[in-house]
Amino acid sequence: MGSRLAMTRESPVHATSKEMIRQRSVSDTLYSRNFDGLWCRMMDTPAARAACRKPMNLLMAGWKASAVARKLKMPVLKVALGGMLKKPQELRQLALFGAATESIRLAIEEGNHQQGVQLVGQVQGLIDDIPGVAELFLRVMQEAEDQLSRLNALHSATTAPRSNS
Ligand SMILES: Cc1cc2nc3c(=O)[nH]c(=O)nc-3n(C[C@H](O)[C@H](O)[C@H](O)COP(=O)(O)O)c2cc1C
pLDDT for 24: 97
Residue 35 and residue 48 in contact, taking contact as beta carbons nearer than 8 Å: yes
Taking the model in full, what pTM does it have?
0.81
> How confident is the chain (165 residues) per 10-residue block, as mean pLDDT?
97 98 98 92 97 84 79 74 67 81 96 97 97 98 97 90 68
Q: Find out whether the beta carbon of 12 lies less than 6 Å from any atom of ligand 1.
A: no
pLDDT for 75: 76
β-strands 29-32, 40-43 pairing: antiparallel
CATH architecture of 2-129: Alpha-Beta Barrel (3.20)
User: How far, in Å, CA of 141 to CA of 147, rounded?
Assistant: 10
Give me the residue spans of the domains in the chain. Answer: 2-129, 131-160
Beta bridge partners of 31: 41
Query: Of the residues 31, 40, 96, which should be mutated to test ligand 1's pocket, given the most ligand atoms within 8 Å of the CB?
Result: 40
The SS3 call for residue 40 is strand
The string of DSSP codes covering 139-164 is: HHHHHHHHHHHHHHHHHHHHHSPPP-
Query: Of the residues 43, 119, 122, which should be mutated to test ligand 1's pocket, given the most ligand atoms within 8 Å of the CB?
Result: 119
Query: Which residue CA neighbors atom 4 of ligand 1 most closely?
Result: 119
Q: Find out whether the beta carbon of 120 lies less than 6 Å from any atom of ligand 1.
A: yes
